[in-house]
Amino acid sequence: MALNKIITVRGKAVPVAGADMDTDRIIPARFLKCVTFDELAGTMFYDERFNADGSSKGHPIDAPQHAGATIILGGENFGCGSSREHAPQAIKRSGIQAVVAESFAEIFFGNASGIGMPCVCATHTAMQTALRITADAPQTEWTLDLKSMTLSCPMATLPVTMPAEPREALMQGRWDAVVELMNAPEAVESLSAKLPAPALS
Amino acid sequence: MGKTLYKKVWEAHTVGTLPDGRTQLFIATHFVHEVTSPQAFAMLRELKLPVLHPERTFATVDHIIPTDNQAEPLADPRAQTMLNALRENTAAAGIRMFDLPTGYQGIVHSIGPELGITQPGMTIVCGDSHTATHGAVGSIAMGIGTTQVRDVLATQTLAMLPLKVRNVRVEGTLRPGVTAKDVALYIIGKLGADGGLGYAYEFGGSAIENMEMDGRFTLCNLAIEGAARCGYVNPDEKTFAYLKGRPYAPKGEAWEAAVERWKSFASDADAEYDDVVIFNAEDIEPTVTWGISPDMSIGINGCIPAPEDAADNETRKARITALEYMKLQAGQPIKGLPVDVVFIGSCTNGRISDFRAVAPLLKGRKVAAGITALAVPGSQMTAMQCEAEGIADIFREAGFEWRLAGCSMCLAMNPDKLKGDQICASTSNRNFKGRQGSPTGRTLLMSPLMAAAAAVTGTVADPREVFASTNL
C-alpha cells in the first residue's frame, strides 16, 4: 500500500483549550450511529461549538480568523476516554492534519497515528507560547516538522516530541501497519498453534 | 529480577519487531461490537482480505440496543442498520455472534468473563476502551481503534509499543460500605485522570487479593479512566474458581493444565516495576464524583472543592469549567444534592454481584417520588440469574424499571438518555459533558450501594446511613 510520507504539516492553528479533552466532547456518541466514517466531517467538538438550537457558542473553531486551520493546539491528556476512532476521523475529516498538545491518551494517539494524523507533545511553556501567538495573530502560518521535531512560525521555534516508532512510521509512509503485519504469516501461525483460542468444551 | 505478568504475556505473544521498531503482538482473543467494527469489516472488503482467525473473534450487540423494547425492526433505523451490519459481517466471516435470541447477549465486557472466553495469560482486545475490564483475570486487555480492529481481523496481530507497569497496591481492609468502585474512584482521584499515561496498572495488595472477581472487573474496567490503557490483577484461586465450569473454560484434564499455565503468568515475587504506589484501604470512603472528569471526586462527607484551592492553574481552570457545567457551588456538601435519575448498570457495575448487593437494601423500600430509576443488567445471563434469585422482582417492587441487557444510559447510544440538565446518580464509568445523552446532562459516578441510597432518598446519600439497619 503506497502511503504518503508525512513529514511536515503547514497551516493556521486553532486552540481547543482545557485538560482531559475527552472523546465524548470530540464527538458526542449520537454521531457514532453509522457504519462508515464518511459523514463525520463537521461533527468534531459539536456540543462544544453549538447550542441545542444549532446556534454557535462562539468556539474558536468557528471563528472566522481560524477558518481553514490545519493544526489543533490542545491541553493535557487530549483524547482521553473512549477508543472511538470516530474522534480522530472526525478531526481529520474536518480538515485538521495534526494535533499538538501537552499529552495524549494512548488509544487516541494510536488511532490518530494509524490514520496518518500526527499527534505531537509540547511542554506547557511551549504550548503557552503557541497559544499566545495564535491568539495575537491567528493568521500565523505554522510548520510542524517531524524531521526536526519543531513547531515553528516566523515568531518562534518550539520543540515537540513523539515516540520514535510512530514518528518513523509517519515519515516513512508506513503509518498504516496492516501490510507489514501480513509479512510474517508463518510466525503468526506457529504462535497461534501454541496459544489456545477460547473454545466451547 | 523477576518479571511482571505484563512482561510475560507480552513476550509470549510477540511475533517479532516491525521495521519501525514496534512489536508485532499476537492477539489471543478479540471481541467486536456494532459501533466500532462495521468500518473495519468494510476496510477488509476494500483490501480484499479475509478474516484470518474467525475462531478468535467473538461478537455481540450492546451499545445501541434498546433496553425496553427489542422487537425488530428497532425504532431507530440507524440502530437496526448497525445491528444488521454486525450480523452480516460476522456471519460472512464465520465469527460467533452472541445475538439477542441466544441468551448470551450483553455488554461485551460482561459476557466475555461470564462465558469464560476471557482467560488469564491472554492478549485481549476490542474496539472499546473498557476492554481493560478483562485484565481482572490476569490478561493484557486493552481498547483499540477501528483501524486496529481491521488489523486484528486481517492478521490476528497488532503493531504495539509496550507500556510501563505501575504496581498499584491497596493494603488493609476496606471499611463496610466501601466497594471496588469507591477504590477505583479514589485511586483515580489520587493519581489523576492522566496519571496512568504510558502505564499498565497492576492492582495488588491485600485489599485486592481479598476482593471478589466482580469487584476486580470493576476496578480494572476503570483503569482507563485513570489513563492506564490496561489494568490487571494477578490470577489466583479466586480467578480459577470464577472461571471453572464456564462454557468456554477448559474442562477435565485440560482444566488442570490450563490452571498450571495460568499460574505461570502471575508476576514474580521479585518482579521489577516501573513505579509502585501504595494506598491504605482504611482511608477510602464511599466516593462520588462532582465534576466532568472521573478524577473530580470526593468522599461522601466531603465538600465540592474550590478552584482557588487547586494546586496548579490547570486544575483551577478545570474546576471552574466543571462547576459551571455541573451548576454546583464550591464548598457545597455533596451529600443531600437532589438527583433526578438513578442508573444501575454498565460494564462497570452491571454484574450479578452488583445487583445482589443492592437487592437486600431495596427490600421493603421505595424509589423516592419523582425519581426515574433504571436497573440494567449487563447481560442476558445476569438478567436471568437476577430473575431466578428474585432480585429483579425486588427492584421492580421498589419502583425501579427493570430493563433488558445493554450499555444503556452509560453512553446513551440507545433511547435511554438524560433530558436537559438532569442529574444522574450513575454506576457507570464516565462523567464527561453530555455523556448520558443530553448535551447538558449531569453525571455523578458512584457505587451501586450509593446509587441505591440515592434512589430511595432522591439525593446523594451515604449508604452506611441510609441502610444503617442492614449489614453493608
Consecutive sets of 10 residues in chain B, 472 residues long: mean pLDDT of each? 97 96 97 98 97 98 98 98 98 98 98 98 98 98 98 98 98 98 98 98 98 98 98 98 98 97 98 98 98 98 98 95 98 98 98 98 98 98 98 98 98 98 98 97 98 98 96 82
| Residues ≥6 apart with Cβ < 8 Å to A30 | B412, B413, B437
Q: Looking at domain B5-265, which of 3.30.70.60, 3.30.499.10, 3.40.50.720, 2.30.40.10 is its CATH number?
A: 3.30.499.10
Please give the Cα distance from B9 to B163 (Å, whole number): 12
The verdict on residue A53 lying in a domain is yes
Residue whose C-alpha cell reads 516491525 in the numeric block: B18
Count of pairs with CB atoms under 8 A, one residue in A, one in B? 220
Beta carbons of A133 and A140 less than 8 angstroms apart? yes
A189 touches chain B (CB under 8 A): no
Q: Give the domain B287-466 fold.
A: Aconitase; domain 3 (3.30.499)
Please give the Cα distance from B318 to B289 (Å, whole number): 14
The verdict on residue A201 lying in a domain is no
Which chain A residue's Cα is nearest to B20? A165
DSSP β-bridge partners for residue A27: none
Pick A29's closest partner by Cβ from B18, B26, B411.
B411
ipTM value: 0.97
The verdict on residue A2 lying in a domain is no
H helical segments located in B158-282: 180-191, 206-209, 213-221, 237-243, 252-265
- What is the grid cell recorded at B220? 480494572
Neighbours of B332 (CB within 10 A): 13
The pLDDT value recorded for residue A201 is: 78
> Which sign does the torsion angle of CA B426, B429, B431, B433 carry?
negative
- From the list B157, B128, B153, the residue with the least C-alpha distance to B143 is B128
Q: pTM for the full model?
A: 0.98
The verdict on residue A3 lying in a domain is no
H helical segments located in B30-145: 38-47, 77-93, 108-115
Cβ distance B413 to A30 less than 8 Å, yes or no, reads yes
Provide, as residue numbers in chain A, all residues whose Cβ is less than 8 Å from the Cβ of B82: 33-35
The CATH code of the domain that includes A48 is 3.20.19.10
User: Residue ranges of the domains in chain B?
Assistant: 5-265, 287-466
The verdict on residue A41 lying in a domain is yes
Beta carbons of B121 and B262 less than 8 angstroms apart? yes
Which chain A residue's Cα is nearest to B161? A165
Cβ distance A18 to B318 less than 8 Å, yes or no, reads yes
Q: Domain of A171?
A: 8-194
Residue whose C-alpha cell reads 471552574 in the numeric block: B320
Helices B38-47 and B77-93 cross at an angle (nearest 10°) of 50
B116 touches chain A (CB under 8 A): yes
User: Rounded to 5 degrees, what are φ and ψ at B61?
Assistant: -110, 125
A153-164 mean pLDDT: 98
User: Rounded to 5 degrees, what are φ and ψ at A123?
Assistant: -70, 165
Provide, as residue numbers in chain B, all residues whose Cβ is less than 8 Å from the Cβ of A169: 20, 22, 159
The pLDDT value recorded for residue B470 is: 87
What pLDDT band is residue A1 in, cutting at 50, 70 and 90?
Answer: low
- pLDDT 10s digits, A89-117: 999 999 999 999 999 999 999 999 999 99
The pLDDT value recorded for residue A40 is: 96
Provide, as residue numbers in chain A, all residues whose Cβ is less than 8 Å from the Cβ of B437: 29-30
DSSP state of B372: E
Provide, as residue numbers in chain A, all residues whose Cβ is less than 8 Å from the Cβ of B85: 35
The verdict on residue A159 lying in a domain is yes
The verdict on residue A199 lying in a domain is no
Mutation for A interface: B24, B222, B315, most A CBs within 10 A: B24
The pLDDT value recorded for residue B166 is: 98
How many folded domains does chain A comprise?
1
The pLDDT value recorded for residue B128 is: 98
The answer, yes or no, to whether residue A173 has pLDDT greater than 80, is yes
Cβ distance B55 to A24 less than 8 Å, yes or no, reads no
| Residues ≥6 apart with Cβ < 8 Å to B88 | none
* Chain A closest-CA separation from residue B364 CA (Å): 37
Sheet with strand B401-402: strands edge to edge: B401-402, B372-375, B341-344, B423-426, B442-445
Provide, as residue numbers in chain A, all residues whose Cβ is less than 8 Å from the Cβ of B150: 178
Task: Please tell me if the domain spanning B5-265 has the same topology as the one spanning B287-466.
Answer: yes
